[in-house]
Amino acid sequence: MYNKYLEVSTLVEEAIASKKAIVALESTIISHGMPYPQNVETALKVEEIIRNNGAIPATIGILSGKLKAGLSREEIEYMGKKGLEVAKVSRRDLPIIISKGMDGATTVASTMIIAAMAGIKIFATGGIGGVHRGAEKSFDVSADLQELAHTSVAVVCAGAKSILDLGLTLEYLETNGVTVIGYGTDELPAFYTRKSGFKLEYRMDSPMEVAKAIKAKSDLEFSGGMVIANPIQPEYQMDYNVITKAIESSVKEAERLGIKGKEITPFLLSRIKDVTGGESLKSNIELVYNNAQLAAQIAKSLVSL
């Protein structure tokens, strides 16, 4: 029995009922991640990659106050065209967006919530949010981290966004009991680059290894998610010095303009794209494709156990 505010597409509902592999996808990348029509093209390509790897994609969003698990092609097109007019929605925003019958693009946190409501256990995204630089003064910590501590959905990502304080982000996850697995790596990937200098406790090298860990956690009835940190492909990673300088200059620009809260991440990503002449966006898209492929393989392994 689904929550009364949730609408699951026929395809996703059938996949859940027949215990097929399913991968949840967020919709912030559609409405806030890049301009139309590139946003729609990217979203549909991600779904295609998941299908080609043996799983069913379930893009998640909110339309007219209804939580949707499994957007249609037309609904993705609608969100892509509407773009920034669609509200960016995290956990705190959900009651308002629902009660007002608004459209909403889901972040990592709200995608996890809706995926869990629908019974979807694997979610692919670009990078998770985390502890922002200067958080000791601003207390700016992404709601994604609290969601990972409480909501039982495994998130495949390219680590945490490198605009963040990666060391403190790892500490926060550890304090809240969130398992972080490096996929084919011993250190936390830094979104645009494969290395960050922050060592991880656990490394796994196959989708089945990861699936077994997810199943063990479920069998133990532990609440909370899991982070599968999947490094960007070597050929698409950015030069460490170039991206570091771009991030530092963008952070300073945000401070000068007084940009804070939920506006800070989209501002920084947009600014970094401009500073790098669009190279960061290309890397961002490719790492999302990479994560979608791995998530589908893990989901397929999970349903076989």
Mention every residue, 6+ apart, whose C-beta is less than 8 A from residue 65.
5, 97, 98, 99, 100, 101, 102
Please say if 221 is a catalytic residue. no
User: What pairs with residue 105 in β-bridges?
Assistant: 61, 88
Strand 56-63 vs strand 104-106: parallel, antiparallel, or unpaired? antiparallel
CA distances for 267 relative to 126, 213, 227, angstroms: 16, 36, 25
Please say if 161 is a catalytic residue. yes
Return the SS3 of 53: coil
Q: Which long-range contacts (CB under 8 A, 24 or more apart) does 262-271 make?
A: 262/88, 262/90, 264/132, 264/140, 265/129, 265/161, 265/163, 266/32, 266/88, 268/163, 269/33, 269/161, 269/163
- Amino acid at residue number 179: T
How far apart CA 266 and CA 231 sit, in angstroms, is 21
Catalytic member of 161, 273, 279, 300: 161
Task: Decide: 193 and 162 in contact? Cβ < 8 Å.
Answer: yes
How far apart CA 108 and CA 20 sit, in angstroms, is 23
Return the SS3 of 286: helix
User: What pairs with residue 164 in β-bridges?
Assistant: 132
Catalytic member of 26, 47, 75, 279: 26
Active site residues: 26, 161
